[in-house]
Structure 1
Amino acid sequence: MTAEVMAADANRDPALSKLVSSLQETETLSSEQEIDFLKTLLESKELNALVNVHSKVAKVLRDDKLAPLLSTSTQVLIEVLEQLSQRCHLSPICKEAFYLLQNPHLQSLLCAHDAIAQKDFYPHLPEIPVEMDEDEETIKIVQLVKSNEPLAGAQSAEPIVGATIKTDEETGKIIIARIMHGGAADRSGVIHVGDEVIEVNGINVEGKTPGDVLQILQNSEGNITFKIVPSDGKGGQRESKVRVRAHFDYNPENDPYIPCKEAGLAFQRGDILHIVSQDDAYWWQARKESERTARAGLIPSRALQERRVIHERTQRDTTDGESKTEGSCASICTTPPGSPMLNSSSSTSSCRQPKTKKIMYDLAENDDFDREMIATYEEVAKLYPRPGVYRPVVLIGAPGVGRNELKRRLTARDPEKFRSPVPYTTRPIRQGEVPGREYIFISREKMESDVSAGKFIEHGEYKGHLYGTSAESVKSIVNAGCVCILSPHYQAIKALRTVQLKPFMIHIKPPSFDVLKGTRTASRAKSTFDETNSRGFTDEEFQDMVKHGERIDFLYGHYFDEEIVNDDLASALEKLVNCVQRAENEPLWSPASWVQ
């Protein structure tokens, strides 16, 4: 028994043992329950083990020979990954290093290294609160340097300090409504949302409006001094890590509802935005991912943008309903509302239903439904390539624009790498066709049964016959280490854009009418709308291609990873090859659900 006690004492930290001895001397000053609790805590094996580890790490850090070379190895890792991702196609060694550095165990080791190097293991104790009289009010004096950043309220203002103010509806006091992330007010760390402003540069603002305060600030020169009453229960702002892809264009200069135009962030469809704050239900704070050090700006929240679009549609539908007349072109025109105006050469056929030789997909969500969907933001994350597993490449485009020819040429470039699944159909075999080459021919009953069983990733009906692509055929190509190339009808976009496939989607767009007609005529291209391929394209067919391209862009443009204008087949093919290489070798922004 004595040996066991001695062994236990030997494993205890001397400092903790000394604390236990001190407790025994103060037993008369504290309750027995408190003394027992502290003794149990100080004698616990877990606490003694942690203290021993802490002491050894601290000793190592005091030894100059073992001092860390840097404390930001995790950041270096991220930078190295970014560099390697651009060179993986150049060297097998780069590719191997790229995948090695993505190992979670290695990354966790570097995180632990940085924590120790930054001495992040030391305990952080809260500050001892200062007891104050309940009736005493805390006042803060804050001085900021005037800069080109917005401070705005109910009215537009010159850029000042990176915050917005408003009048409290209940008290009538001027309070801080919003702190712009990355701005002067945010960087100061002493101004928070809800703080009451009582003086600006020695001028009392009691009873004044936000516009009055803004006028004081605009007339100020040099430093600006605020006298502030802190709000209760506030804390520092923490940036969220949410990234989204914008599905619409936005310009704050044209937005009459934004609290401060100078604080707004303009962006275009396809831009990646870092949403740093969603505290406000209507106005989020964001910065472009490519501008990581910039001050955040205001953008409409998802809820606000949806309500705005619904309101605009309601207003437009009401106006259209009042202006419609019998036989009106608007009721059957295929150009969607809000799309770019067609050129004069195509306006004569704007009310004609466009021809199509391709499959009209009988999907549950058709064009009319897609047009009613509201595209705002999509949460995204970096999707890193995996060795030997390639994302399917999906070519979407207007009928006749040349996506099937691009697919054929890409496949012919490297048949062992690029492959396309053979589609299924229920139509009869034609003369010269070989089963399994052009199509896999099956009965309608069998195909309907397989469709119901979910064996087709996309399917449709054309002239009474079913067509489709089986999920198993795509899976077999991917599992074989090849790049699967698909060119379905554009209505299949959402059916293909799933976490299982993770496709890389490319819109093959037609050029303008004049360029389209000129290039196809010069190359003596044969019409794909004529099954005998015995004639060239007509002007009507060229116009249909342009209109279909605009319609696809209007309905589904936000789904595409890349766009290629097929004005010249050779250059379009080279652009396609470059896009495929990017999908193979670079981490790309994709729906967040594909990464989680």
Structure 2
Amino acid sequence: MTTSHLNGHVGGGEAGEGEELRGGVAQHREMAVDCPGELGSRTLPVRRSAQLERIRQHQEDLRRRREEDGKQVDLNTSLRLRKLSQNPRVGIDNPTFLSDHAHPPLGSQSTHTLLEVEELLLSLKQVQGCLSDSQSHNDIELVLSLLQKSDFQTALKIHNAVASRMHRPSPPYPHTHHAALLAQEVLLQAAHNKDGLELQHLLSGTHVQALLLAHDIIAEVEMQPEPLPLAGERGVVTQWGGETVKIVRLEKAQDVPLGATVRNDMESVVISRIVRGGAAERSGLLSEGDEILEINGIEIRGKDVNQVFDILADMHGVLTFVLIPSTQSKPPPVKETVVHVRAHFDYDPSDDPYVPCRELGLSFQKGDILHIISQTDPNWWQAYRDGDEENQPLAGLVPGKSFQQQREAMKQTIEEDKEPEKSGKLWCAKKNKRKRKKLLYNTHKNDDFDNEAILTYEEMALYHQPANRKRPIALIGPAGCGGAELRQRLLSSYPERFAGAVPHTTRSRREAEQNNRDYHFVSRQAFDAEQSAGKLIECGEFEKNMYGTSSDSVRQVINTGKICLLSLHTQSLKVLRSSDLKPYIIFIAPPSQERLRALLAKDNKNPKPEELRDIIERAREMEQSCGHVFDAAIVNQDLEKSFTELLRLINKLDTEPQWVPCSWLR
């Protein structure tokens, strides 16, 4: 079995071993066992009839064990116990299995067993879930309340402690490990009478001396105090069938998935990944690379991963694993810090042939906040979507940043190779023919929002705006979508709260215009200096005069305690976000074509169908190129409702912290 690589481990996809990323290396398939429905489509609910049958079988086994102790109640378990009982020190850290003092060896006639209240509580809860009448529910609830009382549990501990001392295995426990030394003392002190001489003769015999020496050797081993298990340790490493195995026991509740993926390696079933949030990760007993031999007495080696999934789908409660420990060197455990990122692309695991386990793939959309909790696998991070932590028990898999960049670069290279020659054809001339009226625009030759060729993730942090320093509000959207109208309505309705930035211009001041109120009237040289210094958020030329809005003008509004309202083109966002202004960007999107026509008709506008399509197309282009930096979006179906929603979003900045790029807070 081989694993595909792309500068590191990639993992297999459901497409099978025939899938290739680029180098033609085969991949393996991971299957999530006991995967919740929110993440995986193969989740099977526990059948109630099967659950009830297991409870009845468990009760019948307990009854039969008490009546016919020593008989083989369960063939697989008995075989395992017989192998392990060859060494009285070997066993699971569980008194219901093996304990050198608490239980007699297999086949003895003692019927004393140590009681485990956890198993009893779990069985009662399972029975309660299968009952329908209220009286039975009340009866079981009464028993549960009794078992959970501290006095009862204290008495149970005393019972188990006494039972473990009263019923020791046969032959009797040795009293000393220096019988040979005692025999020598007897020889030295033997009386000179007839009986003393006879005793001296017996103890001096070679066979008796050898017997006493053998007794002391065995007794010394038997009387050594057994080391106490470490806190939380429930795994035992032992020899079984000529192999070194690890036996672990963990409890899997119905509301806590196991959280592990397995893969086939020839005939072996190997744990491929431990997923955060599951019982496996919490217990710390299962490790990546461990081979599973048995689960609750069911042989696993030789089974397909889908069969293992079906087996574990019907298992709850205490699970006992027999494993061959991984031979891989394990790095020391490192507590990973949670990294919060904003996704700059859409991801659907159902369309990804390279996701190692599609059932655990986490889908997200551009702009979603992801909490990355593990980057142990650099190609496939484990993450939660913001707000889904309570409803999503297991972390999901998302592509790592470097892996996403590499495969998107490959995809772009392949698409470029397939692109037909277009020499001599101005295929984008139609877009260049668009006529603009008096609009401010960025004069940089590169119209791309970001120079980063492939957008992946941006690290984020929570930020609560200070009361005396309001974040500027930038409204983004094509002309005709209502952004300018919404901005003007805010300015006129709340002049004490909102204000616009005073723009710069190189034209001459007109009569009735006031410098620094209507415009900042500057020379062309001063304007060019502002632009060269990167202080102009937007700039453009109209009738041979330059116009622009500087970051200093926005800062002047902020220093007055007001909220600065900006209506910008997407080309201005890069300069705005790279400043220290911490803008809140709201995208004003157009509705459907018919609804847009109705809205424009209220302003006595009668656009042509191609003009409406042009507005919708420009909005789509804006969202596609810059949607990853929009903090919110409003579809302007109705101007009154859109104004109310806009005001709600702005008010929320005073009451709730917002996600902002970490670079803004450094």
Fold agreement, TM-score > 0.5: yes
1:383-422 matches, within 5 Å, as: 383-422=463-502
Instruction: Please report how far the alpha carbon of residue 423 of structure 1 lies from its aligned counterpart in structure 2 after TM superposition.
Output: 0.6
Partner in structure 2 of residue 502 of structure 1:
582
Q: Distance in 2 between matches of 1:217 and 1:520?
A: 58
CA, structure 1 residues 450+595, in 2 after alignment: closer, same or farther (shift >3 Å)? closer
Partner in structure 2 of residue 366 of structure 1:
447
Q: Distance in 2 between matches of 1:545 and 1:356?
A: 15
CA, structure 1 residues 178+218, in 2 after alignment: closer, same or farther (shift >3 Å)? same
1:96-495 matches, within 5 Å, as: 137=244, 139-143=246-250, 145=252, 161-166=258-263, 174-202=269-297, 208=302, 212-219=304-311, 221-222=314-315, 224-231=319-326, 232-233=329-330, 238=335, 240-293=337-390, 294-321=393-420, 324=422, 327=425, 329=427, 331-332=428-429, 334=431, 353=434, 355-363=436-444, 365-367=446-448, 370=450, 373-428=453-508, 435-462=515-542, 464-495=544-575
Are 2:238 and 2:246, in contact at CA under 8 Å, matched by a contact in 1? no
CA, structure 1 residues 333+200, in 2 after alignment: closer, same or farther (shift >3 Å)? farther
CA, structure 1 residues 321+434, in 2 after alignment: closer, same or farther (shift >3 Å)? farther
Q: Distance in 1 between matches of 2:511 and 2:425?
A: 44
Instruction: Please report how far the alpha carbon of residue 315 of structure 1 lies from its aligned counterpart in structure 2 after TM superposition.
Output: 2.7
Please state whether the residue corresponding to 2:466 is helix, strand or coil: coil
CA RMSD of aligned residues (A): 3.7
Q: Distance in 1 between matches of 2:616 and 2:526?
A: 38
Bigger Rg, which one: 2
Are 2:464 and 2:653, in contact at CA under 8 Å, matched by a contact in 1? no
Answer with 278-287 or 220-229: which moved more. 220-229
Instruction: Please report how far the alpha carbon of residue 310 of structure 1 lies from its aligned counterpart in structure 2 after TM superposition.
Output: 2.1
Partner in structure 2 of residue 546 of structure 1:
616
Instruction: Please report how far the alpha carbon of residue 516 of structure 1 lies from its aligned counterpart in structure 2 after TM superposition.
Output: 1.4
Q: Distance in 2 between matches of 1:400 and 1:568?
A: 13
CA, structure 1 residues 333+240, in 2 after alignment: closer, same or farther (shift >3 Å)? farther
Are 1:391 and 1:584, in contact at CA under 8 Å, matched by a contact in 2? no
Q: Can you list the C-alpha shifts for 1:119-151, whole angstroms capped at 9, x where unaligned?
A: xxxxxxx98x99x999994623335549699xx
Q: Distance in 2 between matches of 1:538 and 1:161?
A: 60
Instruction: Please report how far the alpha carbon of residue 392 of structure 1 lies from its aligned counterpart in structure 2 after TM superposition.
Output: 0.9
Answer with 376-385 or 565-574: which moved more. 565-574
Please state whether the residue corresponding to 1:487 is helix, strand or coil: strand
Q: Can you list the C-alpha shifts for 1:537-591, whole angstroms capped at 9, x where unaligned?
A: 4544433322221111011011111112233332222222111111233211111
Q: Distance in 1 between matches of 2:530 and 2:597?
A: 42
Are 1:394 and 1:503, in contact at CA under 8 Å, matched by a contact in 2? yes
Partner in structure 1 of residue 626 of structure 2:
556
Answer with 296-305 or 425-434: which moved more. 425-434
CA, structure 1 residues 299+333, in 2 after alignment: closer, same or farther (shift >3 Å)? farther
Instruction: Please report how far the alpha carbon of residue 494 of structure 1 lies from its aligned counterpart in structure 2 after TM superposition.
Output: 1.1
**TM-score, length of structure 1 as denominator length:** 0.63
Counterpart of 2:342, as a letter, is: R
Q: Distance in 2 between matches of 1:552 and 1:545?
A: 11
Counterpart of 2:539, as a letter, is: H
Q: Distance in 2 between matches of 1:415 and 1:281?
A: 51
Q: Distance in 2 between matches of 1:356 and 1:274?
A: 44
Instruction: Please report how far the alpha carbon of residue 279 of structure 1 lies from its aligned counterpart in structure 2 after TM superposition.
Output: 0.8
Structure 1 gaps, min length 5: 1-125, 150-159, 335-350, 526-535
CA, structure 1 residues 537+465, in 2 after alignment: closer, same or farther (shift >3 Å)? farther
Are 2:292 and 2:322, in contact at CA under 8 Å, matched by a contact in 1? yes
Give the paired residue count. Answer: 428
Confirm whether residue 576 of structure 1 aligns to residue 657 of structure 2.
Answer: no
Moved over 6 A (4+): 132-136, 146-149
Instruction: Please report how far the alpha carbon of residue 594 of structure 1 lies from its aligned counterpart in structure 2 after TM superposition.
Output: 2.5
Partner in structure 1 of residue 215 of structure 2:
none
CA, structure 1 residues 317+453, in 2 after alignment: closer, same or farther (shift >3 Å)? closer
CA, structure 1 residues 475+518, in 2 after alignment: closer, same or farther (shift >3 Å)? same
Are 1:198 and 1:205, in contact at CA under 8 Å, matched by a contact in 2? yes
Q: Distance in 2 between matches of 1:279 and 1:586?
A: 32
Please state whether the residue corresponding to 1:321 is helix, strand or coil: coil
**TM-score, length of structure 2 as denominator length:** 0.57
Please state whether the residue corresponding to 1:505 is helix, strand or coil: strand
Please state whether the residue corresponding to 1:240 is helix, strand or coil: coil
Please state whether the residue corresponding to 1:274 is helix, strand or coil: strand
Instruction: Please report how far the alpha carbon of residue 332 of structure 1 lies from its aligned counterpart in structure 2 after TM superposition.
Output: 4.3
Counterpart of 1:295, as a letter, is: L
Confirm whether residue 512 of structure 1 aligns to residue 619 of structure 2.
Answer: no
Are 1:357 and 1:399, in contact at CA under 8 Å, matched by a contact in 2? no
Q: Distance in 2 between matches of 1:269 and 1:137?
A: 49
Identity among equivalent positions (%) equals 38
Counterpart of 2:315, as a letter, is: G
CA, structure 1 residues 552+133, in 2 after alignment: closer, same or farther (shift >3 Å)? closer
Counterpart of 1:558, as a letter, is: H
Are 1:490 and 1:552, in contact at CA under 8 Å, matched by a contact in 2? yes
Please state whether the residue corresponding to 2:412 is helix, strand or coil: helix
Instruction: Please report how far the alpha carbon of residue 361 of structure 1 lies from its aligned counterpart in structure 2 after TM superposition.
Output: 0.9
Please state whether the residue corresponding to 2:664 is helix, strand or coil: helix
